[in-house]
Structure 1
């Protein structure tokens, strides 16, 4: 498969013959519902000597005989058997009432073995020597027949009927098929001789796209037989796709054969014969009343099948072409990222752009009747899911998001696109890990959204859709959705918990509390399961507050502490005043430690703060005086540098001001064993080494940093030094933070900082100068993007008090204002002043 294509059509219509495929790999479903089965079959066929016996298990008409023939062709292709070897098939059901005749057919007989045996007769085992013997409906074999057969499977020898002293041998590959339960039908001794049992899904169990491929293939076969182009109505396609026939694939094939024959009888003199609902066999039309064809047929188009141009089937709608192209780009561009041809930022931005272009095209350039049944169902359920997301996770819904996802699911039709990409299975886990690292919040929300939709619409969650939705959500700025402490009120009674939660949420004007109402006979096991279910479906990194109305905290904390993903504050004897008190602390953005210390100091209540008991993972915190953006970039550079040395250490960006104010009370110190803090300003936490980013850049503290790591892990010092020296340069950090010309903006910022030093008659430390470089470069880009900084309540008072300082700073940066045609606000000047004059 190529990596580059001239057009989207070239990508979609790539000639499958350009890739050499074996017969089994060409079976419809070989990369889908039959993927595991095909691999098992190949393993059995390639096994030394005569391969391994294979049992095909599946309902009538599911394709067992066809698959047996494919196995034979595969053995020929792989030169496992001679090109002249036989494929012999026997349906054992034909001889169910005459087991002696069946045995004589299988094993042969000698003259005089029974009445009518007037000469020696070879059996099928001998005729199939060197080839394949396929026994269909093998459950019809008597116990005696099974015993004879497994004796042959063990020894490779058998005796013809009539003389047990004769020992014959045969090198034959055995394939069995049955529609019955193996355990209840076969002797245990026979089952033990079946190392490979292959389950074949029914037509209704196949993915929708495989059903369409099967239908297409059958119509194409009929076109070839009738030597006519066949046009099939969308109603017929829809009926075949959604009707549930007992005969499965075989029944579908027969209906298609009859329908094409019926149309041919009427139109054989015409160039194109048209298959309509009226051409279906009378017996099958009874199912029309029960099928959904009138509801969903508008999703499909009339199809043309021409045996002279089979590739017509691969010419899909522009929606399908664009879908495939976008999904394939996830993998192809990620390969370029792994090779270092593009940056992480470029990949994320490019993929977000591609996703939005795809969704915009589906919404604005595709024709869908908004009243069409399936689209209405999709839209309704997506609205419900978005409402659920808003209520539980603060994710704001709007019509654009709903329409975008509805169109995506409508046109994708649950098909798995990337299963056809040769490198999807190897890249999938790495790509999802990458998204979790760089867009973890978006991935988490996408999982919740698709899980909720999956339950309502009964469709599977595909990793490829999880990836696309993650990029989409990341593009609509949902970064702060989950970063809050979660709270549950869990109380006995019909609406006790709900009433308290509703009152508190209304009074606080924010939905802090969720409620779980329980029957009076609820057990501690029930409570544990409720909490664990909540933990599984919510992010509780910041903590979970559980308010209960029963005195069982000790037991509950013991049960939960080994299963926690974050801190849990348990509080007993819940009441409305207690809920409001906690809500007021949440409004003040107190962390869970502060809430635990402050909650109702003057009232005696039972409470426990429980942390996960597993061994704390090592971590390095990154922080920056100017905000989280720079801390995250430092995290990324460190992560990439340490990836070769120690995957066991987490790099956690954190707010500098919170660290400076609350020290080791902050959450990272409860969850991690913090080894060091790296940043642009020292938060001054006793016992935790701090390394300034300027010292890493100068190389001054690289040895100290490596020594810290060496005390906890075995690191590759030489490689780590190279990575740190290369990646921790001022230019590279600013390149990651901005899209500006680094040399240009740094020159102007350096001049401005020099002017400040001269006019204030001060000498800035290397650390402050370094911090100013980063902050001011980011400031220029922030102003160009028209992004605002947080309002400062005391700004007017500060301007009056520090007027002279602000004037000097503003003068020093006047050249930057002229060059970039921007206006640096008093709020921005204030931040620069803080960096220069605050310790």
Structure 2
């Protein structure tokens, strides 16, 4: 039983904090593991002596798993401590302070800059000189101090080493004095030099010297300084025969252009130039965090809770002070002081527009009517509870809770405590609960300018998604996303989650693998919306929108063939594409108008941009009015994601002809074979140059719906995250008719086909779905997989048997009770056999169970079957049999109050009488 105690203690130690100490007592542990307290206490004390458990002798005595505690916090030096504080104080001495975590933007706009700084600081010997380049007030001095702290934290300098700062601008009109300050001087060096005096280089020996506004140095001063940078030697002013040496880490800062303000010889000694963004150049979330930090500091100084109106927040965020952080900080200080003088006897002081300093009038006029001014909530700053800052209203609390659940729930998936299906369903439910709450329980004035702007642009984005990717517009979707973005206020929520940055890539990959095309759709949608709103796309919003779209039962993108018209001239390509799109009533063609002197590099770049932002796996047609097909082929064949049809000719009739074939859903091979048979043009069909990915095709006689279900079940069974295997649903009738001419065989190495009817493709193994359900062909399928991939054979066999059962397949129904609909369908199929006097094979019976169960739900959802042009003629020809099938299913119509159309009855007929 000791193992159970150990395992339990390991688990709860992961969540250890000051608030839950009691659960680590022997008494609490004994209750959970269902052993006597004395047994548990004996075991814990024995393990403490062995060094695997930490004992804290407070009341009650608590025990922690030492290995887990060390992984989460720090490695304790002892096994026993008298108090919790004694343990924690030891940790505060051991743990290294992360200097950069306190820098706003360290994981955002300053991420690359901080990496540059680390590279310079950690360079062997004495590091590399660093030049900080940025506008006045952008935070260069603050960063220089952080660099000093980082050197100290990394033990690169002695704890007693100094940080010395000098603003060279103060001595601009007296360069001799500046040089003497830097290098020191000897007695008699100039009038008033009545004694030797050391310079800042000597004072900073072993530490850090920061020279701000270093462009104020004269050319002579620059030369003396770079001589020191080369040799670590310098001479005091007044006696060049004296050679002194100092080991100083140098940080420079300037607001001027490097090239124009410094000698070339000085510039060559600056291997690390760090560009610091201004306040205006920072992402909006970072600007908010900076303002928050200033108000929190004032709250601490004034010992008051500070409430700031949304108008003041908008003013500070969008004021045009050339992005001067220092100026914003001073405005915050003045405004808080102004409010304090009026309300100093109150515990909460309120900062309003009237508290802004004199001289802000022009800025005020510019920003007061800013379209986003009404978007922000009043913010409350309490130095006693700074953690409550970002959740000061119920909407933001709910948003934060939902976003944090993305990460916390995924941790449970990785730990194996919940299944990925449970996680996905729970997250979809959470997302829908949140948008319902925001839409129906929170009042938004639709006349508020930003909400109107949001709604308009989201509607435009959905129109773009519908035209290009087949994602239908929906008023509820538009309002849901508008409400979320309105209340979220462009804040990056998960930046505050301690595990977000480590989990983010794995969570994104998980969504990519388990939720089909929704992540791709979310990226396209937010990229388009971001461009229109001039805002950044956040990964956390991609995850939210992915779960939201997945909850809409979107099966995937309409992965149609894409087409681009490239032509020289101001609007030649646009004119042809627009004419064709209008006449075809479908947005098939994108246009790229090119200057006359366009290079092939330009064409390649434009095509690759299109490929990156569109799904082109089914093919891309490129019509170019002039250029070398051979050169384009060589450049693109290693970069394309699907087949590329290159045509060295463009005309409106040709564009219309290609569009008419796309309307007929012809694939790219058929288009290549049929296009303008009587006109000689240069064209090449190019396939991606790479080792073909292995692929399993799924198909169903009655349509793509069941093929997609088979795909889902296979993915669940294989738990495959191997990028070398694709599982692709495909149209049965195309496979049966065109065999290996169909597109999947050009793109993939097809290792098997799984479906309801064999399309009879030579050299490709077929496994019937009924045989997988019956278990006859499970071994055969596993053998196919074994010959191509590494698999866990026993586990896969269990998963296949479990997932490929009729009930598991039909469990994907979301409206109907599975057992109930199966019973009704079984009775209907029995009547079909009886009335028609036939005996159905197990395969047909299974296929009818699957098809008809899904059919009932489809009708309830008001989703129509595909149109059949000959339906009236067919019904007349097979009138008796159709009437019998209709009679057999009449009980289902009564039970579910639905009408089964002739189109649906014809599909059932096809299954019953198919060969």
Q: TM-score, normalised by structure 1?
A: 0.82
Alpha-carbon offset, residue 684 of structure 1: 0.5
Q: Does 1:260 align with 2:326?
A: no
1:71 corresponding residue in structure 2: 147
Post-superposition offset of 1:774: 5.4
**After superposition, where does 1:222-301 map in structure 2 within 5 Å?**
222-246=298-322, 248-268=324-344, 272-293=348-369, 295-301=371-377
Q: Does 1:389 align with 2:459?
A: no
1:532-562 CA distances to partner (integer Å, 9 max, x unpaired)?
5554543333334556777987777677655
Q: Deviations for 1:516-545, whole angstroms, at most 9, x for unmatched residues? A: 496895868577766655545433333345
Shift of 1:685: 0.9
Match of 2:536 in 1: 460
The aligned runs of 1:29-428 (5 Å cut-off) are: 29-42=105-118, 44-45=120-121, 50-76=126-152, 80-163=156-239, 166-246=242-322, 248-268=324-344, 272-293=348-369, 295-311=371-387, 313-428=389-504
What are the residue-to-residue correspondences of 1:518-529 with 2, within 5 Å? 525=600
SS at 2:690 equivalent:
coil
Deviation at 1:204, TM superposition (A): 0.8
Change (3 A) 1:818 1:196: same
Q: Deviations over 1:756-807 (max 9, x none)?
A: 9999999987766765675577568768878776577345754624878998
The CA deviation at 1:122 is 2.7
1:721 corresponds to: 793
- Specify whether residues 231 and 538 from structure 1 end up closer, same or farther in structure 2 by C-alpha distance, changes over 3 A only: closer
Give the corresponding residue for 2:25: none
Is 1:606 aligned to 2:681, yes or no? yes
Q: How far off is 1:34 after superposition?
A: 2.2
User: Judging changes above 3 Å, is the alpha-carbon distance between structure 1 residues 680 and 721 closer, same or farther for their aligned structure 2 residues?
Assistant: farther
Over residues 86-121 of structure 1, what are the superposed CA-to-partner deviations in whole Å (9 max), with x where a residue is unaligned?
Answer: 332211222334344333323333444444333332
Shift in CA distance, 685/79, structure 1 to aligned 2, threshold 3 Å: same
What is the distance in 1 between the residues matched to 2:253 and 2:210? Answer: 8
Change (3 A) 1:346 1:3: farther
Q: Distance in 2 between matches of 1:218 and 1:613?
A: 55
Q: Which residue of 1 aligns with 2:43?
A: none
Equivalent residue in structure 1 for 2:880, among 796, 800, 819: 800
Measure, in 2, the Cα distance between the counterparts of 1:515 and 1:647. Answer: 30
Residues 860 and 898 of structure 2 are in contact (CA less than 8 Å); yes or no, is this contact kept in structure 1?
Answer: yes
Aligned mates of 2:150, 2:751 — CA distance in 1: 58
Q: Deviations over 1:9-47 (max 9, x none)?
A: xxxxxxxx9998634311222232223333444555556
Does the 8 Å CA contact 2:165/2:210 hold for their aligned counterparts?
yes
Distance change in 2, residues 1:324/1:2 (3 Å) = farther
The farther-off stretch of 498-507 and 80-89 is: 498-507
Preserved CA contact (<8 Å) 2:306 2:382: yes
Aligned residues: 818
Report the counterpart of residue 738 of structure 1 in structure 2: 811
Once the 2 structures are TM-superposed, how far is the Cα of residue 245 of structure 1 from its aligned partner?
1.3
Query: For residues 287 and 349 of structure 2, what CA distance do their matches in structure 1 show?
Result: 23
Distance in 2 of aligned mates of 1:634 and 1:183: 64
Q: Secondary structure of 1:729's partner?
A: helix
- Do the aligned partners of residues 94 and 617 (structure 1) sit closer, same or farther apart at CA in structure 2, a change above 3 Å counting? same
Asked whether 1:673 is paired with 2:753, we answer no
Moved more, 57-66 or 207-216: 207-216
Pair 1:655 & 2:728 matched: no
Partner of 1:13: none
2-structure distance, mates of 1:542, 1:235: 51
Q: Matched residue of 1:298: which SS?
A: coil
Inter-CA distance 307–677: structure 2 relative to 1 (3 Å threshold)? closer
For 2:165 and 2:580, locate their aligned partners in 1 and report how far apart those are by CA, in whole Å: 74
Deviation of 1:248 after TM superposition, in Å, equals 0.6
Equivalent position SS for 1:728: helix
| Cα distance between partner residues in 1 of 2:553 and 2:818 | 26
On the 8 A contact 2:836/2:881 being kept in 1, the answer is: no
Distance 1:561 1:647, change over 3 A: closer
Question: Aligned-pair distance for 1:686?
Answer: 1.8
Change (3 A) 1:2 1:198: farther
More moved, 618-627 vs 26-35 = 618-627
CA–CA distance in 2 between the matches of 1:177 and 1:495? Answer: 49
1:615 is aligned, of 682, 685, 690, to 690
Q: Distance in 2 between matches of 1:810 and 1:302?
A: 61
Give 1:405 shift: 2.6
Cα distance in 1, alignment partners of residues 113 and 514 from structure 2: 36
Tell me the C-alpha RMSD between the 2 structures.
Answer: 4.7
Distance 2:470 2:384 in 1: 56
Moved more, 586-595 or 827-836: 827-836
- Kept in 2, the 8 Å contact 1:238–1:293? The answer is no
Q: Distance in 1 between matches of 2:400 and 2:534?
A: 23
Question: In the TM superposition, what whole-angstrom CA distance separates every residue of 1:117-165 from its partner, at most 9, and x where no partner exists?
Answer: 3333233233334443322222323344344444444555544444555
Shift of 1:54: 3.3
Q: 1-side partners of 2:294 and 2:482: how far apart? A: 31
Taking CA–CA contacts closer than 8 Å with sequence separation of 6 or more, which of the two structures ends up with the larger relative contact order? 1
Native 8 Å contact 1:682 1:690 kept in 2: yes
Quickly say closer, same or farther: Cα 1:691–1:92, change in 2 above 3 A. same
User: 2:589 matched to which residue of 1?
Assistant: 514
SS of the aligned residue for 1:282 comes to coil
CA shift for structure 1 position 252: 1.5
- Unpaired runs of at least 5, structure 1: 6-16
Is the alpha carbon distance of 1:692 and 1:412 closer, same or farther for their aligned partners in structure 2, counting shifts above 3 Å? same
Aligned-partner Cα distance in 2 for 1:769–1:397: 38
* CA displacement 1:727-774 (0-9 Å, x = unmatched): 211545553551589899999999999999999999987766765675
CA distance in 1, matches of 2:615, 2:16: 40
Residues 698, 153 of structure 1: CA spacing in aligned structure 2 closer, same or farther, 3 A cutoff?
A: farther
Q: Which whole-Å deviations, capped at 9, do the CAs of 1:28-83 have from their partners, x for residues lacking one?
A: 22232223333444555556665554332221111122222333344555555454
Cα gap change, 1:822/1:534 in structure 2, threshold over 3 Å: closer, same or farther?
Answer: closer
The one-character-per-residue Cα deviations of 1:482-539 (angstroms, maximum 9, x if unpaired) are 333345566788887777767766665x325437496895868577766655545433
> How far apart are the structure 2 equivalents of 1:697 and 1:89?
77
CA distance in 2, matches of 1:578, 1:247: 53
Q: Do the aligned partners of residues 4 and 829 (structure 1) sit closer, same or farther apart at CA in structure 2, a change above 3 Å counting?
A: farther
Contact 2:699 2:729 in 1 (8 A): yes
C-alpha distance in structure 2 between counterparts of 1:232 and 1:562, whole Å: 56
> Does the aligned pair in 2 maintain the 1:208–1:413 contact within 8 Å?
no
In structure 2, relative to structure 1, the CA distance for the partners of 1:804 and 1:223 (3 Å cut) is: closer
The Cα offsets for residues 436-495 of structure 1, whole Å up to 9 and x where unpaired, read as 444444333333333332332221222222332233333335546533334556678888
Q: 1:278 to 1:117 in 2, by over 3 A?
A: same
Classify 1:795/1:430 alpha carbon distance in 2 versus 1 (closer, same or farther; 3 Å).
farther
